[in-house]
Structure 1
Amino acid sequence: MTARAWLANHDRCRELASPDIFNFVISVFLVIGILVSYLPQHFKIIARRSSRGLSPMFVLLGTVSGTASIANILTLPESTTDMACCKEIGRFPCAAALLGIAQIGVQWSCFFFIMLLFLIFFPRNPKPDQVDEQDANLPTWKEAVLVLAVSLAFFTVALLGSIIFVYAVPSHVRSWANFLGLLATGLAAIQYVPQIMMTWKLQETGSLSVPMMCIQTPGSFVFAASLAVRLGPGGWSAWGLFIFTGCLQGCLLAMSLWFIWRDRKAAKAADEHGASRSDEQTPLLHNDTID
């Protein structure tokens, strides 16, 4: 390490030794918010005991994107410097410095759990004659298993690649981190396309949680701002991902809300029509009884 690099790291550690309480509270709130935002999706899949309505490509791309994102922030020089500073600063400043990593780690863990629930509760149709025309075009069990296999394979590649770049070729670690960040951003952008297509095909949300999207859509922009403040312009590949995600998830949320409003309006009209027919028939039935 050069003298200039050592001084830069030392200055960074001195800066982290006195964490801003306001930023710390906001960061903790974001970690809790990320965890809470995914709970409705977990609960809906478990409660329905079905992952129908979730696109396999949406789940796969989200899992791989999350893996690339956590590998990105763990290998960024800014993050490794912060982690190294934990040897020189106290426990509280260390915890405050690593909250940015914790935020992405919690998000990755929650989406990985969605992937597992998607596989566990994937709908199975034992008899072909029980499959209606709409379900015939839905994903198969083999596709669901493929999602798990590819997710685990990429996790292994990202883990081994990060270890090699951090310890064997550290001079290229920023390029590796930026590659992972770009990959995560690109996959996050593509991720919502198959889910939008799936939701549009079904004309319903299925097991896709609207409350989750209501929390996450604005939260993505807050999250991006938090990471931008923590990592600065050099960490653009980390916080840029969440700006993309917020915009695309907002489109999916708008479509889902429209489907819900349409279905409720149709159900209300059907109830009113049924009540009207009942009112018309009641006097006739009453007269027949008297006669």
Structure 2
Amino acid sequence: MASRDLPPVAPRCPETHDVPTLVLSLMLCTGLVVSYLPQHFRIINAKTSEGFSPWYLLLGATSSASGMLNLLIVQWPLFRCCSIISAGRCFESLLGFFQVTLQWLLFTIILVLYLTYFPKHLKYQRVMPLESDVNGDYGATSIYESGESPSSNNGGTVTTTPEWRLAVTLGLVVLLHLSLLFLLSISLLLVLPDTIPAHPYLRYLATFLGISGTILAVLQYAPQIYRTYHTKLVGALSLGTMAIQVPGSVLFVLSLVFRPGTDWTSWLAYAVTGAMQGALLVICILWKRRQKSLGIDDFGNPISTIDPQDSERRPLINDN
């Protein structure tokens, strides 16, 4: 049967309140904020984002953006319903989209903080000519290892490190990915006719966003797990955030499964992300115990258990 242009009439719009789903969605939105705040505050308080993989942040930001846009397309009829139903019912029907958008926003804040608090000793380097090399090769050393500033005149050339340039490049890729796909989605939603079922172009785009978001989610935690496993340090990762989000991801997925207007392409990415995040949490707990036994902090620095003033007063030779 051919598709028919239909206005947002009452049979297509929610007519009853689903109290359990409403309560669950509100709890999940609150839980999302509570779970991400420890990670945000940890980076801000430590004044460093050392330990994060830029590829993890890239894949996470693009995956969550794809999921958000997927839900925007598949729930577009509910957006149109808001013109004929009450504001309260409109808000309730779109809570699934608000959940996904909130998660995208909170994760993207981590990316912004990562760039803002990028470790200084990994950000700049001074390139000096190697005097012993007749070929005129250059050697690069971190300018922060000796405590100097980028503006100090100690010879050589101060440049940014490859790590910092990669981080900035990936941040721009995230912005470009979101901008292009958002403009494409909105353009198709506004230009194409509202039909039942949805226009094939919209179905293709929604499927692409759902599948690409799932693939990106599968890949998301691989670089972070690899980095954390091989450095054997927790770094700026927040165990509190992961401890809340791992069980919360189960409820998050279930809330999307039972949402009207969603399908497997809308929730599969979050199911995969929750499982991978659980694996990262286990690794971090193991390394946390290892750090404690070695007497080092999350960044590999020795933990001093002796007050400096006490050590100055303590005699060098014990009379006993």
Which range, TM-score by smaller chain? 0.7 to 0.9
On the 8 A contact 1:204/1:256 being kept in 2, the answer is: yes
Structure 1 position 113 matched with structure 2 position 103: no
Compute the TM-score of the two structures, normalised by the length of structure 1: 0.83
- Aligned residue for 1:70? 68
Cα deviation digits, residues 100-134 of structure 1 (max 9, x gap): 011001101111111110101011224525559xx
- Aligned residue for 1:278? none
2:236 alignment partner, SS class: coil
- Give the helix-richer structure, 1 or 2: 1
Distance 1:249 1:55 in 2: 14
Compute the TM-score of the two structures, normalised by the length of structure 2: 0.76
Distance 2:245 2:217 in 1: 14
- Aligned residue for 1:277? none
- How many residues align? The count is 265
On the 8 A contact 1:217/1:250 being kept in 2, the answer is: yes
Report how far residue 265 of structure 1 moved: 3.3
Structure 1 unpaired stretches of 5+: 133-137, 275-281
- Aligned residue for 1:104? 100
Distance 1:199 1:101 in 2: 32
Distance 2:101 2:107 in 1: 10
Equivalent AA in structure 2 for residue 33 of structure 1: G
Report how far residue 209 of structure 1 moved: 0.9
- Aligned residue for 1:56? 54
User: Superposition pairs for residues 206-225 of structure 1, below 5 Å?
Assistant: 206-225=235-254
Distance 1:7 1:155 in 2: 29
Distance 2:181 2:98 in 1: 18
- Give the strand-richer structure, 1 or 2: 2
Distance 2:9 2:264 in 1: 20
1:252 alignment partner, SS class: helix
On the 8 A contact 1:178/1:237 being kept in 2, the answer is: yes
Report how far residue 11 of structure 1 moved: 2.2
Structure 1 position 246 matched with structure 2 position 274: yes
Report how far residue 169 of structure 1 moved: 4.1
- Aligned residue for 1:192? 221
1:204 alignment partner, SS class: coil
| Identity among equivalent pairs (%) | 35
Structure 2 unpaired stretches of 5+: 126-140, 147-160, 194-198, 297-301, 307-314
Equivalent AA in structure 2 for residue 145 of structure 1: V
Distance 1:219 1:5 in 2: 39
User: Superposition pairs for residues 17-56 of structure 1, below 5 Å?
Assistant: 17-56=15-54
Distance 2:29 2:280 in 1: 23
On the 8 A contact 1:165/1:176 being kept in 2, the answer is: no
Equivalent AA in structure 1 for residue 57 of structure 2: V
Report how far residue 19 of structure 1 moved: 1.1
On the 8 A contact 2:8/2:81 being kept in 1, the answer is: no
Distance 1:62-1:131 versus aligned 2 partners, 3 A rule: farther
- Aligned residue for 2:167? 144
